[in-house]
Amino acid sequence: MALTPVTPQTPAFTAGTAAAFGAFAGLFVGTAQGSGLMGIVLGAVILAILGAIAPMMAGKDKPVRWAVFFGFIAAGYAFGGIPAAVVGGIFGAFFGWLIFFVASGRYRESLAPYLTPGQVLWHYAFRVICGVIFIFLITPILVVMPLSFNSQDFFTFTPEMLQFKAEGYSLKHYRDFFTNDDWQNALRNSVTIAPVATVLSVGFGTLAAIGLSQPHVPFRRAIMAILISPMIVPLIISAAGMYFFYSRIGLQGTYLGVVLAHAALGIPFVIITVTATLVGFDRSLTRAAANMGANPVTTFFKVQMPLILPGVISGGLFAFITSFDEVVVVLFVGSAGQKTLPWQMFIGLREQISPTILAVATILVVVSIGLLATVEMLRRRSERLRGISPT
């Protein structure tokens, strides 16, 4: 596909584009200062001026970008000290790159030459919208993590933290988590429940996915819908149903009851991931193994399992995360003896407002990120094994 040649843009176009971004950023800065309208106006004016100047500075973009970067840092420090200077540096680096990216016409460099201005606008608008949604979703996590290092027993940023003073930060909440008996008992319960539930989920879910992948199985769609229903049905309804069922058979309030409940919640994730892996599975391999004299068990472990293993492990990781983070079902099915980490966090919010929750949340976020990164690596490995993506 031919690429569009780079054509420098007019000062008016660059200024208008930069002003739109400046108004959007100014809305947040101005709101933080008490006047969102003033922020919009100042942001649009400042970026419009920079956008109008940029086309005239062709070949000198590097010194101008550095000047914009340090200028925003200085302005931020003057208005709000070190925290505002950090934010100003981020804005300065981005806007310094943006105005020259637009002014030089590089924004069309990787696009097809036949795209209309409206299509180009939507191409970048779609990415901006996705970025805004991502920031909206990730901001609560980014706020919780620094708050976990608060030296005070508050759920808000203290003046010392905002000024980046050392006395504003502490590891006291992490020490409380690792030394408090209630938190350690909850952690022990989670560590003993989640792995067992994961093993059950992987075993039953993998067998179900393999069975449902066979074309001769009757009512496959109905059975699949029933098996993945715990993922679809509201969790409170599943929890209430499990409570009434387990109370009748004597499993309510027992370790086995909680494990089975979490396994039921994790099975749908295993079924979905393993079924997706089986889509590209070459069934002639199992027939060839049978022709060579291998029994079904040997065929499964020697031929089928190595190829679907990434999907099995991915499903297992999702099942583990589901069990480790689940709180609603364990409140119905478990007892005080099965108080898990999320249950203890719920108590900390409802009864004693313990800031240790922030430290625990940060640890869980880090663990979840690591597990999800592992899932992504396994997904890519599975695609390479199935020939979907290049090595």
> Taking residues 283-309, what's their average pLDDT?
78
Assign 326 to helix, strand or coil: coil
What tens digit of pLDDT does each residue of 57-93 get? 766 778 888 888 888 888 888 877 777 788 888 888 8
Burial 331-343 (b: 16+ CB within 10 A, else e): bbbbeeebbbbbb
What tens digit of pLDDT does each residue of 14-64 get? 888 888 888 888 877 777 667 777 888 888 888 888 888 877 776 677 888
Which residue type is seen at 385? L
Give Cα 202 distance to the centre of its chain: 23
Domains of the chain by range and CATH? 11-114 (no CATH), 180-385 (1.10.3720.10)
Calculate the alpha carbon distances from 51 to 5, 89, 122 in Å: 21, 18, 21
Give the Cα separation of 252 and 262 in Å (integer). Answer: 13
What tens digit of pLDDT does each residue of 231-259 get? 888 888 989 999 999 988 888 888 999 99
Query: What is this structure's pTM?
Result: 0.70
Neighbours of 282 (CB within 10 A): 11
Give the Cα separation of 237 and 243 in Å (integer). Answer: 10
Assign 4 to helix, strand or coil: coil
CA 167, 173, 178, 181 torsion-angle sign: positive
pLDDT band at 195 (very low <50, low <70, confident <90, very high): very high
- Among candidate residues 11, 41, 2, 9, the one with its CA nearest the CA of residue 25: 41
Task: Give the per-residue pLDDT at 1.
Answer: 44
> Taking residues 209-229, what's their average pLDDT?
84
DSSP string, 225-261: HHHTHHHHS-HHHHHHHHHHHHHHHT-TTSHHHHHHH
What tens digit of pLDDT does each residue of 332-373 get? 998 888 888 888 888 877 766 778 888 888 888 888 888 878
> Taking residues 379-390, what's their average pLDDT?
64
Calculate the alpha carbon distances from 221 to 212, 235, 265 in Å: 8, 22, 19
The whole-chain average pLDDT of the chain stands at 82
Task: Give the per-residue pLDDT at 349.
Answer: 74
Phi, psi of 250 (to 5 degrees): 85, 15
Give the Cα separation of 67 and 75 in Å (integer). Answer: 12
